[in-house]
Structure 1
Amino acid sequence: MSLANFVVWADFPTGKHRIACPVCARGRGDRTLGVTIEHDGNGVAHCFRCDFTESFRPERGANCAITPRIKAAAPTAKQDLSDYGRDLWCDCRALSGVALAYLDARRCRMPPVDGDLRSHPSLKHPTGYVGPALVALVTDALTREPISLHRTWICADGRKAEVDPPRLLLGGHRKQGGVIRLWPDEAVTVGLGIAEGIETALSFAWAHTPVWSLIDAGNLAAFPLLPAIESLGISVDDDAAGLAAARKCVQRWANAGREVTLAKVTHGT
């Protein structure tokens, strides 16, 4: 396979860069592939999520085919939360300190203490950075079984930490069909609000509770019908993927005779 199908080395000057991984990228802002170009023109690329690796030597020609080394992946992602994930979740605490300041600066409504959002005062990022983070438990929308953790490294002024990327799911864990129950099941009766991101959902919560985060557009598009939920509110991300996902979700729920309303929430990134 041609090298150009993976990293276009001519696009990068000497130095270190971050781009979307050609193997595991989850969106435009997902930059887990580190590209390093040395002064002699040699280059190496490595993804810290999936271990995709590729190298380049200029003497072999810009279009020379160099077979990338891709770490063999498991046949399927883990279907339940790993022991590491469970231990990390137990190490987290109720929202406090920087986590509360971050959410307040983002004009978010604070979720109840029995929801699936916690904080960690000093969580290590794969790059080596250590700092405060929001940690959310991802559970299967239907079975409620824990399947992953969602982590966001944060600052008290409402900014994400200067780390790339600032948001990560646990590697090797299933995301499909997952939700973050910002309000617990006991608070969900006949109505529910949903949104992609945690901050979007908590902004939506000023107008609609209870709310859950669905993590991304893919999960929003596939959000299943839930028994007893008669009314669904959707906070829509104003981009092509978000709008398309909302339309799919609306069609499925409306076809089942459920009431569905749409809203757009203005918030920072």
Structure 2
Amino acid sequence: MIAWPRYDTGNHRIPCPACGRGERDKTLGLTIEADGKGVAHCFRCSFTESYRPDRDTRQQAVAKPRIKAVTTQKHKALSDYGRDLWNACKPLTSVAVAYLKARRCCIPPVDGDLRFHPTLKHPTGYTGPALVARITDAMTRKPMSLHRTWIQANGRKAEVDPPRLLLAGHRKQGGVIRLWPDEAVTVGLGIAEGIETALSMAWAYAPVWSCIDAGNMDAFPYLPGVESLVIGADQEPAGIAAANACAARWADADSEVYITRQPENDLNDAIKEAA
């Protein structure tokens, strides 16, 4: 069971009470509304729980094991399908801009690696608007995969499970999403885990890239010629550990390194709270 009163208003990621594998295995998305009502959903096992503080009641749905697709081919680089999908995407307009503005995100330049697809099909069969981000190797710039987020204009993810997906059979280790192009990176760079978190940091510091998750931030390599690095750290154990490991690597290379601190989990939570 979830200890609902422990969590403040906003979005959180926590271990699932049904399938959790430890404190760092945060597969459960939890949302607390301003009136205290809450809903939680696990992106792995589909466990759900809702909470009504006025009645001190909760409802649960039995976790159902997910059928995991077997991938026989591992792509070392972006596949033909991935390249075709990327080329079919458009610059950020309409629903994409509305979604980012509702999330209080800075809109990145058109020559960055974030685009929009108006009718992208989800594996469940759902079709709708989505952000599509290209993942490239942090060092070689070689295209590796795509990150897709199904969205709504009101700033919420689409009602589809899960709303964010990487391309199956593609690696992401060592990859980043260059929200600003290489040409914009001169002496300084900002990084964060998620796309929305990075675009929140961009209001104060740009150019920024997304590392996708804590594992990639932990391993984010030193880039020769970049004199300073600003890290938008998620304020949870895995995020803080990743930010510290990355900062230590860059500091050892004699770069200036700064790590953000905010009361909320990430910078997007903080900027939405302040808006």
State the TM-score, normalized to the length of structure 1.
Answer: 0.76
The answer on whether the counterparts of 2:232 and 2:267 sit within 8 Å (CA) in structure 1 is no
Q: Residue 95 of structure 1 corresponds to which residue in structure 2?
A: 92
Asked if residue 254 in structure 1 is aligned to residue 251 in structure 2, the reply is yes
1:31 corresponds to 2:24: no
Q: Distance in 2 between matches of 1:27 and 1:86?
A: 31
Contact 1:119-1:132 within 8 A present in 2 as well: yes
Please give the alpha-carbon distance, in whole angstroms, between the structure 2 residues aligned to 1:175 and 1:241.
18
Q: Which amino acid aligns with 1:231?
A: S
Of residues 226, 232, 241, the one that matches 2:238 is 241
The Cα offsets for residues 140-191 of structure 1, whole Å up to 9 and x where unpaired, read as 0000000000000001010011111111000110100000000000000010
State the SS of the aligned residue for 2:251. helix
Q: Distance in 1 between matches of 2:92 and 2:250?
A: 33
Structure 2, unaligned stretches of length 5 or more?
1-17, 29-41, 48-62
Q: Partner of 1:181 in structure 2? A: 178
Q: Who is 1:205 aligned against?
A: 202
CA contact (8 A) 1:103 1:110 kept: yes
Say which one has the larger Rg.
Answer: 1
Match of 2:130 among 111, 129, 133: 133
1:6-45 superposed matches below 5 A? 27-29=26-28, 31-33=43-45, 45=65
Report 1:208-219 matches (<5 A).
208-219=205-216
- Deviation sequence 1:109-135 (CA, Å, 0-9, x none): 110000000000011111111110000
2:114 aligns with one of 100, 105, 117:
117
Residues 45 and 64, structure 2, Cα contact 8 Å, conserved in 1: no
d(CA) in 2 for partners of 1:73, 1:45? 21
8 Å contact kept, 2:135–2:145: yes
In the alignment, residue 27 of structure 2 is paired with which amino acid?
Answer: R
Letter in 2 for 1:88: L
Distance 1:83 1:225 in 2: 30
TM-aligned CA distance change 1:168 to 1:236, over 3 Å: same
2:79 to 74, 77, 82: 82
C-alpha contact (below 8 Å) 1:194/1:212 kept by paired residues: yes
Alpha-carbon distance between aligned partners in 1 of 2:203 and 2:46, rounded to the nearest angstrom = 39
What's the secondary structure of 1:229's corresponding residue? coil
Offset at residue 243 of structure 1 (A): 0.4
- Per the TM alignment, residue 21 of structure 1 is displaced from its structure 2 partner at its CA by 9.7
Output the amino acid matched with 2:43: R
How far does residue 33 in structure 1 lie from its aligned partner after superposition?
4.5
Residue of structure 2 equivalent to 1:221: 218
Counterparts of 1:266 and 1:226, CA distance in 2: 24
TM-score after normalising by structure 2: 0.74
With over 3 angstroms needed to count, the CA separation of the structure-2 counterparts of 1:143 and 1:20, relative to structure 1, is: farther
Q: What is the alpha-carbon distance in structure 2 between the residues aligned to residue 98 and residue 139 of structure 1?
A: 25
Query: What is the correspondence of 1:45-84 to structure 2 with a 5 Å cutoff?
Result: 45-47=65-67, 50-51=68-69, 71=70, 73-74=72-73, 77-84=74-81
Distance 1:124 1:164 in 2: 13
Count, aligned residues: 219
Secondary structure of the corresponding residue to residue 267 of structure 1: helix
Identity among equivalent positions (%) equals 62
Is the 2:119–2:129 contact (alpha carbons within 8 Å) kept by the matching residues of 1? yes
